[in-house]
Structure 1
Amino acid sequence: MIDDAILGLGPALRSAESSGRAPRAKRGGLKRFLRIASYGLGFGLLGWSLWRNQASVQEVIGRRPNLRYLAAAFALGEIALLSTFARWYLLARAQGVPLTLRQAVQIGFLGHASELIVPGQLGGDVVKVATFCRGQDRRRAPVIASVMFDRITGVFGMFLLVSLMGTLQWSTGTVAVRRLIEVVWVVTGAGVLGFAALFLPATAVLLRRILGEGRLQVKLAALWDAAAAYRDQPMAVAAALAMSMTSHSIYAFSFYAVICALFPIRPPLGTSLVVIPLTLLTAIAPLPFGALGVGEEVSGELFRLIGHSIGTPAMLGARCVGLGLSGVSVLVSLTFSHSNPGLSVGPPRAGESAGPAPS
């Protein structure tokens, strides 16, 4: 149903389901099973990761953390989160979407809070689209495109950051770290080609030929056209990528502050900035609480590449900070909902300017 919500097929499916309750019951049962399975998988992976890293975890449990560093980690995490809301606002305005900065922050907090319930960061993206488009007659494609492009620039900006840090750390990196950096360079190169394809008009023609005709194909083509509209906004795209690199840098500093709070011996900051963003990328996985278990296992393996066994407990500490940030998002969302019942976030009210669209 998440894909249906994105493509705007919800009403059609609901009318089709009204002919019988059996298909709906089966679909509901499957959704519940998948959700329970995702929690089981997440906690299972977490248990496996903790078992593999018993020594380092027990070491952290027996040591008092530095509260100043933890407070710094929390503050940096909140700043990084707010910067992602500003990035989406920029990309939405570039599409001509009548989104105010206040609405971007309001919906952003709601989407972030929903990740506690809807597994994975992509679930929060769906909530953002559904919230803004609710009760509106305008086309959803530009809104969806802005959210999707925001996610794409977020991931691509992360690889650009890691590529940059990898280049700076190449001369001092071990063989394993250099191999990791080479993989990141390859992925970044593929991302550059993907961006180039997006901005080529011939790509849209080829896509239509591949998709053919049909309702779903038309919606996908419209979504592609909306995303491709960014080729007329190069400054907005460049600014979004720069903001993405900045956001991931702040998140990485937040993670490193957690390391400083928990461990007396820390890996070098420069080398850590190569592996930390890759660790945080696991939050995209559709598992509860930001890819519970996957992040701990990946963090443990990546930090072992740079000669440290602190990855799993460090990720656990960062996860606790992340849950605190989610708690703040829940409180802010509740405050917004009480001051604005129904969380109506449609077009700006009379007298409220959405600001000029970036040129």
Structure 2
Amino acid sequence: MKQGSSIRRYTLITIKLVVAVAILVWLARSGHLDLAVVGAARDHWPWLLAAQLLFGVVQWMCAVRWRWLLRATGVECGMLRVFQLTLAGLLFNQVLIGSTGGDVYRVLAFRVNSTERRMAIVASVAIDRVLGLYAIILVVPLALLWNRALIGQSRIVDLVLLACLVAVVLLPGVAWFLYRLSMGSSLAGTTWISRWLEMARNSLRPFRGQRALLLRAFVVSFVSQILIVVFNIMLAFSILGTDIPWPSFFLLIPIAMLGMAVPINPPGALGTGEAMYVFLLGLVGVGSGGVISLLQRFTTVLWALPGALAFVLPAPSSDRYNDATTEKES
């Protein structure tokens, strides 16, 4: 059974990689991936440089947000180390199937000696991911306020817009339920549902009464998602100049990001991400969406490489993954 599962997993990986390569080849042959336009970046290099720096700032903000959540679980880790692990997560997201490889690594990077503490760290990573996802979803209906002309141009886009509007309303209700769950008493029962809910309750316990922290973390998430759109606009300016309909990026880029976050994508949404950029930006007449996506991928890998140091450099003695609760007790 285990061997059969491995075969199916590797077969699926192979199929996804083949699909990714096929999409890139098709985009190149159809003229949607003309790398010659990258040469224009020599004339607009300040935009390209600013984009690289802005991406680094966003990753630092993400690291700050995650460190806040880690502290709520009682885990203390130096800021530079958290930043390095955040970059390492970027690296895993680019090389593993789907977009959760970085999250798995961030959990396993911590050496803890109790299941409860491990689950608390899992909760910190999960909340970190959910806050970022909700921030992306919230940007879409807000950006629709000045992009109403795009309604009706694509049935796919209309469905995504509808889904985002529904999610903006429903997700706070789910968050309220989970918050009430963390405040409640232990759940009795032997069914898998009751066991799952009890595990979720225990994992969320460190965030009980931390509404100010969660609100602050969400604000950072929202600002970082806005800056990611600005980052994409800067990349577009670097190869196309500033005479493009850049306000529409605040609607289309988050939609592309949501599509790229779906786990069925190839590693790092290779190929599928470029296709989404081509399709979505093509709706507003931007013809080099695939190249913009590749530039974004190049920037991601460039910043992810320092994260590889997490595998070869030991954590400094003053920067170990300390369980703050245990230290206080001792």
Matches within 5 A, 1:204-283: 204=181, 213-214=190-191, 218-219=195-196, 221-227=198-204, 230=207, 232-264=209-241, 266-283=243-260
Q: Which residue of 2 aligns with 1:130?
A: 108
How many residues align structurally? 319
Given the alignment of the two structures, is residue 30 of structure 1 paired with residue 5 of structure 2, yes or no? no
Query: Which whole-Å CA distance do the structure 2 matches of 1:297 and 1:290 have between them?
Result: 13
- What displacement does 1:72 show? 1.3
Worse overlay, 319-328 or 218-227: 218-227
Unaligned runs of 5+ residues in structure 1 are 1-22, 354-359
Distance 1:227 1:268, change over 3 A: farther
Query: 2:320, 2:2 → 1: CA distance?
Result: 30
**Counterpart mapping for 1:86-105 below 5 A:** 86-105=64-83
Which stretches of structure 1, 4 residues or longer, exceed 6 Å deviation after superposition? none
Contact 2:99 2:267 in 1 (8 A): no
Structure 2 match to 1:321 = 299
The 2-side partners of 1:284 and 1:175 are apart by: 23
The yes-or-no answer on 1:77 pairing with 2:55 is yes
Give how far 1:262 is off: 0.9
Contact 1:163 1:185 in 2 (8 A): no
User: How has the CA–CA distance of structure 1 residues 188 and 235 changed in structure 2, closer, same or farther, with 3 Å as cutoff?
Assistant: farther
Q: Residues 219, 118 of structure 1: CA spacing in aligned structure 2 closer, same or farther, 3 A cutoff? A: same
Q: Distance in 2 between matches of 1:64 and 1:201?
A: 47
CA distance in 2, matches of 1:195, 1:175: 25
| Partner Cα separation in structure 2 for residue 175 and residue 219 of structure 1 | 40
Aligned to 2:164: 187
Distance 1:41 1:341 in 2: 42
Counterpart Cα distance in 2 of 1:185 and 1:67: 38
Q: d(CA) in 1 for partners of 2:239 and 2:169?
A: 38
Q: What is the TM-score when the length of structure 1 is the normalising length? A: 0.75
User: Structure 1 CA distance, aligned partners of 2:103 and 2:61?
Assistant: 16
Superposition map of 1:281-300 within 5 A: 281-286=258-263, 287-300=265-278
Q: In the alignment, does 2:146 pair up with 1:200?
A: no
Indicate the residue corresponding to 2:126 in structure 1: 148
Cα deviation, residue 79, structure 1:
1.0
Normalised by the size of structure 2, how large is the TM-score?
Answer: 0.81
Which of 42, 45, 48 is the aligned partner of 2:23?
45
Any idea what the Cα deviations from partners look like across 1:13-60, whole Å, max 9, x if unmatched?
Answer: xxxxxxxxxx443333333323222222222222233334x0662651
CA contact (8 A) 1:156 1:188 kept: no
The residue that corresponds to 1:12 in the other structure is none
Give the structure 2 partner of residue 161 of structure 1: 139
Structure 2, gaps ≥5 residues long: none
What secondary structure is seen at the aligned counterpart in 2 of 1:119? coil
Q: Give 1:322 deviation, angstroms.
A: 1.9
Equivalence for 2:290: 312
Match of 2:313, SS state, is: helix
Whichever residue aligns with residue 247 of structure 2, its letter is G
Does the C-alpha gap of structure 1 residues 87 and 156 become closer, same or farther in structure 2, counting only changes over 3 Å? same
Range moving further from structure 2, 217-226 or 241-250 = 217-226
Q: Residue 95 of structure 1: CA displacement? A: 3.8
Q: 1:57 aligns with which of 34, 42, 45?
A: 34
- For the 8 Å contact 1:199–1:228, the answer to whether it is kept is no
| Deviation of 1:259 (Å) | 0.6
Shift in Å, 1:221: 3.2
Task: Find the aligned partners of 1:181 and 1:26 in 2 and give their Cα distance.
Answer: 40
Matched, 1:340 2:318: no
Q: Alpha-carbon deviation of 1:190? A: 2.3
